[in-house]
Structure 1
Amino acid sequence: MTMQKVYVGGRGEMAVRTLPDSGVRSDRTGREAGRCSWPLRSGERAVGRWSVAQRAAEREETESRDRLRLAALALVQRAFETYARLPMTGLFPAGLRSAMPEVVHDATEAYGWNAARPRPATPSGTEILEADWVAGHTLTLAPADRAILIGLGLSLSLRAIGRKVGLSHERVRQRGNALLLALAAAYEAKGKRL
């Protein structure tokens, strides 16, 4: 994330976070010290109060955090989908337990009148590695944090997750957002992009 800089009359370029909201005053050159300008995408410059520039920078930072949080949530959900698509050979149906054919439950099943259910595609190696990394990261968390992250990945409601871990839904939302941002930071530290 790049730090946004603005031109402040009489002070030169300053980082937006360090700008005080001091209102409109004139500096030594006679310009308004409480106003600043910043570049727009069109190539022109916008002029406004410091507080406007600060709010714009905070909005941009909030949007960036929301993008990272949603990307991390998608990463957790992809991990669950990957595990759901893994084949269960040897466990179901019958597998190695018996050589008997499976039981036919009704006539529609016996004569093939019911619609065939296609199996989901087997996940690739990179999808499995990504899911394993997410599972490994989840196991390093405290039990309550692990339950929150898993609940978010399964798209459970915040209230249901809160009942499980003993927190209010607002606290679950706050901790969940922090966990997702930490997951995104760890994933990017690994060298991958979300």
Structure 2
Amino acid sequence: MQTRVDQTEITRRARMAARPHEAGDAAPPDAPYVVARLEEAGATILAMPATGPSTRMRLSTLEVVHTAAESYGWTAGPARPPTPSSARISRMDEAFAWIGLIPEDRYVLRRIVGARSLVHPITERHLFPWRRLGKVLGADHKAVQRWHAQGVAMIVAALGRRAD
């Protein structure tokens, strides 16, 4: 089990995600590129700030009397990743649209690929490890890995057809 993030793996993923694959490229994207772009998209969506208008009911903000323990300074809040750039958000939208290339009747593959793309933006760890996905789906984690590979292969094939 990997407990520490390997820096070379992070830089490899970032390089692959930054590699341009435009319509004029000779070679269509491959599976590692698609996985890296989906993981970048998952990290981007999790790094988005949770502010702005929402549908939940808001309470009026009144001045709160602070306790004596808080009077000498505030406690440090949780570490937040920086807000993603507009280019990264555009890449996120493009990569998440790729999940729609998996046929609708293979909705389990869509769920697996989408859930596996969610990567914590600070720690670079997957929010849904293979075993947790297997437990949720009632399947072996090795089968979930094969299904993820099938979903990514469908995306690569559809992108290859689109490039032609």
TM-score by length of 1: 0.48
Segments of structure 1 that go 5 or more residues without pairing to the other structure are 1-66
Of residues 44, 48, 51, the one that matches 1:82 is 44
2:51 is aligned with what amino acid?
Answer: T
Alpha-carbon RMSD across the aligned residues, in angstroms, is: 3.6
- Trace 1:75-154 onto structure 2 (pairs within 5 A): 75-90=37-52, 97-101=59-63, 107-108=69-70, 110-112=71-73, 114-115=75-76, 117=78, 119-139=80-100, 141=102, 142-154=106-118
Q: Percent identity?
A: 25
Q: Contact 1:147–1:165 at 8 Å: present in 2 too?
A: no
- Relative to structure 1, the CA distance from residue 104 to residue 150 in structure 2 (aligned partners, 3 Å threshold; closer, same or farther) is farther
Shift of 1:101: 4.3
Which protein is richer in strand relative to its size? 1
1:115 maps to a residue whose letter is A
Going from structure 1 to structure 2, the CA distance change for 1:181 and 1:112 (only over 3 Å counts) comes to farther
Higher relative contact order (CA 8 A, sep 6+): 2
Distance 1:76 1:149 in 2: 8
1:162, CA displacement in angstroms? 2.0
Distance 1:135 1:82 in 2: 11
What amino acid does structure 1 have at the position aligned with 2:133? I
Structure 2 residue runs of 5 or longer lacking an equivalent are 1-28, 119-125
| Residue pair 1:90, 1:96 contacting (<8 A) in 2 also | no
Cα distance, 1:184–1:125 mapped onto 2, change above 3 Å = farther
Alignment of 1:10-89 (within 5 A): 68-89=30-51
Judged with a 3 Å threshold, the aligned counterparts in structure 2 of structure 1 residues 87 and 167 are, in CA distance, closer, same or farther, namely same
* AA matched with 2:111: A
CA 1:84 to 1:111, structure 2 compared with 1: closer, same or farther past 3 Å?
farther
Counterpart of 1:13? none
Residue correspondences, number: 123
Please say which structure displays the higher CA radius of gyration.
1
CA distance in 2, matches of 1:104, 1:85: 30
Cα deviation digits, residues 106-161 of structure 1 (max 9, x gap) = 825x4325335554222122211221223333245432112211232232332321
Distance 1:166 1:124, change over 3 A: same
> By how many angstroms is 1:176 displaced?
0.9
Q: Using the alignment, how far apart are the partners of 1:162 and 1:124 within structure 2?
A: 34
Q: Contact 2:101/2:155 (CA < 8 Å) preserved in 1? A: no
What is the DSSP-based 3-state SS (H/G/I as helix, E as strand, rest coil) of the residue aligned with 1:143? helix
How much does 1:85 deviate? 1.8
Letter in 2 for 1:148: I
Normalising by structure 2, we get a TM-score of: 0.55
